[in-house]
């Protein structure tokens, strides 16, 4: 059953994008401090991260408490990007987005497609450029002018100066505003004690949350003194109304009140999930039931489908292996034809054996008859377009869906159900162990890049449940 064409809607959404000339400029730390400061003011904040990122939004939600999602113009066209942004900003006072890499850096490093700049244009967002002043003073004016003028409509309306002394800032601010005509929204002093440490794929353990909240509370207090947060909010408030079209989506027909129940793995080992993916399944008629492969003894009852998210199974190899009843429950369900999507960490969990973080090979589910092992580098990192080489769970041969890979582990059997191709360059490869009831591979999918593929999965779940 296909939903009727959606209406065109419009709403004023105060919004601001925080970008930088390059990675390492301090935008993640400053964004987190600004988010914390706004939350401390009692504001309802929607936060976003540009690019294929579920880690920073998870951090924002767990530590700061904002409603957080990613924005990615490679995954979704302009109309869908605006619709998702509008949905995720409902009932919020302001939306704050953090850019990725350098402001103009897009696909392959030689295009603005998929860049933070493209997000700013698509969502008509004013941008504040965070400029690291370490080792420079007046020269930052040349950097700012270059970014203002590199594209005709840069969307850059403000500047934040990072790692600069109060004395130099006091001299630079009026000069930059006079010569460049851009609003200088404050500075961030050198804060050696306030850093967000690099960690295994951004891992935040439950015991760290209180310490991180204390650190961000301190940072927010500093930024209240050194940034013009009222000016930043004023800039966000200058955003014009954003227009979008409600997406037209297929939906499951009611089956006598019996929902299609999908079991979704969610615990410390399986936590990398695009929430927009799950909400799309719900909009199409699915009922999601969460469970823990670490703690629960078997799959939930009455399910018609399974999603094994990405995450950190390698950090929990001993516990996952010790839970033999869950491994057996999943293996028997898959042998019985239960439709399953297993991405990256979920794919590793389905192997016969998985090498854990300590180098020990642990027995896992056994649905993929191969070993998964650690490597010393990121494998096949970045955006890809997947094309089905055969009829399988997500649709007929030729079905396309976009996603990305990010993993240090590899497999003796990566599969060949799909063909992956990088958006720029010549690199391509086969991947995904797939059939009529299984998608298992390293690529993380973004369902909104092809909702019909997600719906094909739900239809298979519906068929399984009716048997």
Which sequence positions are flagged as catalytic? 344
Angle at CA of residue 225, ends 223 and 231, nearest 5°: 75
Q: Six-digit token pair at 60?
A: 């924002």
CB crowding 43-66: b at 16 or more within 10 Å, else e: eebbbbbbbbbbbbbbbbebbbeb
**Closest to 255 in 3D by CA, of 231, 287, 224:** 287
Contact status, residue 64 vs residue 110, Cβ threshold 8 Å: no
SS3 string, 401-458, reads EEEEECCCEEECCCECCEEEECCCCCCEEEEEEEECCEEEECCEECHHHCHHHHHHHH
DSSP calls for 367-402: SEEEEEEE-SS--S-EEEEEEESSSBTTBSTT-EEE
DSSP one-letter code for 366: -
Strands of 45-111, DSSP E = 45-50, 67-71, 94-98
Cα 275 to chain centroid, rounded = 8
Q: Six-digit token pair at 138?
A: 């007046």
Contact status, residue 36 vs residue 64, Cβ threshold 8 Å: yes
Distance CA 153, CA 331 (A): 54
Strands of 202-308, DSSP E = 241-245, 260-265, 270-272, 286-291, 305-308
Element (H, E) at 322: helix 317-322
CB crowding 433-455: b at 16 or more within 10 Å, else e: bbeebbbbbbbbbbbbbbbebbb
Give the pairing of strands 433-435 and 368-374: unpaired
Distance CA 343, CA 441 (A): 5
């Amino acid at each position: 059953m296909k939903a009727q064409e959606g209406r065109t809607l419009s709403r004023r959404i105060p919004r601001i994008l925080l970008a930088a000339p390059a990675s390492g400029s301090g935008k993640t730390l400053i964004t987190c401090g600004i988010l914390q400061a706004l939350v401390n003011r009692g504001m309802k904040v929607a936060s976003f991260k540009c690019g294929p990122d579920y880690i920073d939004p998870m951090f924002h939600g767990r530590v700061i408490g904002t409603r957080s999602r990613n924005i990615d113009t490679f995954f979704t066209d302009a109309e869908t990007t605006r619709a998702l942004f509008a949905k995720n900003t409902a009932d919020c006072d302001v939306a704050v987005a953090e850019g990725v890499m350098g402001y103009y850096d897009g696909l392959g490093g030689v295009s603005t497609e998929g860049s933070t700049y493209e997000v700013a244009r698509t969502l008509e967002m004013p941008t504040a450029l965070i400029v690291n002043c370490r080792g420079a003073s007046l020269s930052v004016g040349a950097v700012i002018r270059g970014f203002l003028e590199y594209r005709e409509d840069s969307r850059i309306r403000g500047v934040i100066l990072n790692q600069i002394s109060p004395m130099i800032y006091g001299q630079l601010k009026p000069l930059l505003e006079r010569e460049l005509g851009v609003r200088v929204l404050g500075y961030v002093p050198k804060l050696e004690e306030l850093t967000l440490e690099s960690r295994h794929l951004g891992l935040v353990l439950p015991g760290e949350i209180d310490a991180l909240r204390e650190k961000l509370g301190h940072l927010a207090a500093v930024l209240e003194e050194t940034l013009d947060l009222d000016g930043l909010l004023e800039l966000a408030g200058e955003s014009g109304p954003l227009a979008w079209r409600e997406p037209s989506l297929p939906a499951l027909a009611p089956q006598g009140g019996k929902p299609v129940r999908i079991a979704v793995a969610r615990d410390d080992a399986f936590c990398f999930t695009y929430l927009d993916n799950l909400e799309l399944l719900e909009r199409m008629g699915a009922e999601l039931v969460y469970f823990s492969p670490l703690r629960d003894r078997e799959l939930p009852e009455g399910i018609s489908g399974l999603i094994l998210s990405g995450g950190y199974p390698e950090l929990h190899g001993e516990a996952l292996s010790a839970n033999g009843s869950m491994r057996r429950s999943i293996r028997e369900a898959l042998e019985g034809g239960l439709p399953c999507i297993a991405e990256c960490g979920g794919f590793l969990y389905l192997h016969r054996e998985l090498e854990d973080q300590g180098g020990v090979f642990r027995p896992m589910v056994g649905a993929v008859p191969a070993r998964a092992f650690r490597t010393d580098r990121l494998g096949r990192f970045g955006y890809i377009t997947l094309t089905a080489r055969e009829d399988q769970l997500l649709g007929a041969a030729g079905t396309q869906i976009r996603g990305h890979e990010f993993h240090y582990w590899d497999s003796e059997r990566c599969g060949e159900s799909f063909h992956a191709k990088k958006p720029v360059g010549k690199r391509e490869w086969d991947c995904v162990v797939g059939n009529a009831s299984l998608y298992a591979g390293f690529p993380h999918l973004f369902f909104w890049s092809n909702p019909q593929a997600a719906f094909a999965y739900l239809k298979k779940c519906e068929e399984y449940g009716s048997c």
